[in-house]
Structure 1
């Protein structure tokens, strides 16, 4: 697939242009319509292919720092148009970008390194994320992007919603709100063919049952949380909205940089000790960012902008999460899980520092050089520790597309 003259992550505008071209080329099968607007007034678009009642909904751009999904969405749409069997008794609907406001603030079309990626980093605070806001906000305060997404789910009643996510460094994994028997095999085969490690102990799915390596099924209501301090619950997110109509959601994660350390199922010799050590480092790194933030805040003219809101939100998660790792028994005892937690512990302060750095650079603040050195050092240490290797963009897209199609086929066979 070649969406652009150079292979890179497409912008929201380029995704919309490609969707318009697809709709114009096959008007009997395709429609493109606006389904709402963002908080900043940016339009939200839905591309629909086919007319069958049973529907698949594919969502891209829920997290602005996970850019593979937009390209994957277009690739899947082209496959559906070109392969009639994919349209047999099912229609496909593609939400081009769930958070265009966030996408406009994250700038890494073709990152050359983790440091380059973090120089343009943005990920909004949890309550501003379209999929997660219902888990932390009352219904009357939900952002318009969330209401547009749940409105589409209400209208389509999809048997499957697939939301396209990614990670900066690690492996690929799938999170399911209900099991899809048969999905684990094609998922693992695709990852192996493309030399993408499977994240067997993803910290995002800590303590969840697995139907196969890297395929995690959310536990039933009432199951204890692996991280009690985390302020949200996936069962209150838009992922569960499809359950109202007998459907389910698959979250497909793919890495930008790969690490085989997250694909090691061997038992860790001392997981509890390792997690306590990681918690200590997390607290230490966070304090460094907090000191720079406290020093610079009196000099900044706007302390309520989205970058600083998101930076502070990430920092505020740290004390509770570190306490979880120190005092809660490990949810998993494998090297893969400890590696995933190690990556998580590096991401939180690095992301907060990166967003703060963008603000300091914009205002030419005197603390910017010191923070930039910190972001560069942490990015390099992250890549070195995990022996990071770039996953070619075409492989990121291919693996995510294959997994979407396999989920649609196997969930259809499931009969929900």
Structure 2
């Protein structure tokens, strides 16, 4: 308890948070800190995004160990930007909060993609409301999964400009720790680490319990990730993930993009912590009682849902093929997700222990976490694509298809709103979980304990 109190004290009080900061708002906040505390806070432009936005890192602290914190590596996951805002504000006024390290906060890894999500940052935050303003790039356009690496003698991973900025910061600082801040839309909370020990893993999940956020009980979304403890998984290297996907007959490079930060920082012995938190929770997720379905049947049904979803979206794209400009980021994302759904179906069916009875929680997660999440993500981006293209040329065919598909998407949304709207987790609780998890790793690093 004393250690937990110490961590809480370093993080400090967190007031009510009603929305997520935008790219411009976080930049403005950082500029204000640098102006107010010029001796303790400095800002470096690491490069530019593909859209011309600066990729900026804010440095605070003077310790010999360097810690990197990545905000918004996936642009639909903005909890980390709010967490960075809090930690920066805290460390600028209290050097003790740096835990004896030098910190580098990369404010927003993907500002271009983040701007395409900002329409829902201020709220109201509902599952379907977020879906209507949702954007997530395909794997080849996700900066955190475009690090260069080698697999089976083949060079993979084509670094984006944003990735090159991350690489430059990593090479300059040779960090002892990287904390990458993520979130999901719905489900439970969990962590990826590159190592550690049981005491560390339980301390991480204690943060979830203290904030009344359920621990995720399902399979990790990183292929082949090893379970270290309930709610804690080992972050796999590219090679192990690619080998598993290849064994399933899938195109691993297309599915994964390239290496992750763990692959790139292996040369420096950097520890990695990834915080994955839900915006909404539902007590049914953790129901471990026996359900009325065999797990294999559940997995097969989920895979069939994935294939059916791909078919629906493919038919929409085919009907408007001659009206698509090829310039919309939503088209690239929709096409990549449609192409990836069959592989996701195969991976879902390959889960072990297919002959046992599924828990009620697993049944609920299969329908209203995985399947519903993909419907909301794909449907929201497909509708935005049709809107985007219609604004370009006002083609009646686009308007007709937009209205037709909007009715389908409305049905998907109504299902979620009626059966699994989720309970929104107060944003300040989510920020506290991330901030305390990072500080836990930082203090263990300071004290020479395994992370």
Q: CA deviation at 1:389?
A: 0.7
Residue 297 of structure 1 corresponds to: 321
Residue 57 of structure 2 corresponds to: 46
Between 356-365 and 63-72, report the one with greater CA deviation. Answer: 356-365
Between 177-186 and 384-393, report the one with greater CA deviation. Answer: 177-186
Post-superposition Cα deviations, 1:42-67, rounded to whole Å, max 9, x if no partner, equal 10110000122211100001111111
Matches within 5 A, 1:188-337: 188-205=205-222, 207-219=224-236, 222=240, 225=244, 228=248, 229=250, 231-232=254-255, 236-265=259-288, 270-300=294-324, 302-326=325-349, 329=352, 335=359
Tell me if 1:151 matches 2:175. Answer: no
Residue 144 of structure 2 corresponds to: 131
- Aligned match for 2:184, one of 163, 167, 173: 167
Residue 46 of structure 2 corresponds to: 35
SS of 1:367's equivalent?
A: helix
Tell me if 1:361 matches 2:361. Answer: no
Between 96-105 and 329-338, report the one with greater CA deviation. Answer: 329-338
Once residues 195 and 29 of structure 2 are traced to their aligned partners in structure 1, the CA distance between those partners, rounded to angstroms, is: 32
Post-superposition Cα deviations, 1:130-175, rounded to whole Å, max 9, x if no partner, equal 0012379957842110011011111111111001100011111111
Once residues 309 and 33 of structure 1 are traced to their aligned partners in structure 2, the CA distance between those partners, rounded to angstroms, is: 31
Tell me if 1:93 matches 2:104. Answer: yes
Q: CA deviation at 1:244?
A: 1.4
Unaligned runs of 5+ residues in structure 1 are: none
Once residues 224 and 62 of structure 2 are traced to their aligned partners in structure 1, the CA distance between those partners, rounded to angstroms, is: 39
Going from structure 1 to structure 2, the CA distance change for 1:112 and 1:219 (only over 3 Å counts) comes to: closer
Matches within 5 A, 1:78-89: 78-89=89-100
- Aligned match for 1:179, one of 193, 196, 203: 196
Q: CA deviation at 1:36?
A: 0.5
Once residues 79 and 268 of structure 2 are traced to their aligned partners in structure 1, the CA distance between those partners, rounded to angstroms, is: 29
- Aligned match for 1:401, one of 428, 435, 449: 435
Going from structure 1 to structure 2, the CA distance change for 1:185 and 1:116 (only over 3 Å counts) comes to: same
Unaligned runs of 5+ residues in structure 2 are: 1-12
On the 8 A contact 2:294/2:355 being kept in 1, the answer is no
Going from structure 1 to structure 2, the CA distance change for 1:88 and 1:360 (only over 3 Å counts) comes to: closer
Between 39-48 and 363-372, report the one with greater CA deviation. Answer: 363-372
Going from structure 1 to structure 2, the CA distance change for 1:304 and 1:387 (only over 3 Å counts) comes to: closer
SS of 2:221's equivalent?
A: helix
On the 8 A contact 1:172/1:191 being kept in 2, the answer is yes
Between 214-223 and 139-148, report the one with greater CA deviation. Answer: 214-223
Q: CA deviation at 1:235?
A: 8.4
Count of residue pairs the alignment pairs up:
414
Q: CA deviation at 1:225?
A: 2.9
TM-score of the two chains, using structure 1 as the length reference: 0.89
Once residues 289 and 445 of structure 2 are traced to their aligned partners in structure 1, the CA distance between those partners, rounded to angstroms, is: 31
On the 8 A contact 1:131/1:239 being kept in 2, the answer is no
Residue 414 of structure 1 corresponds to: 449
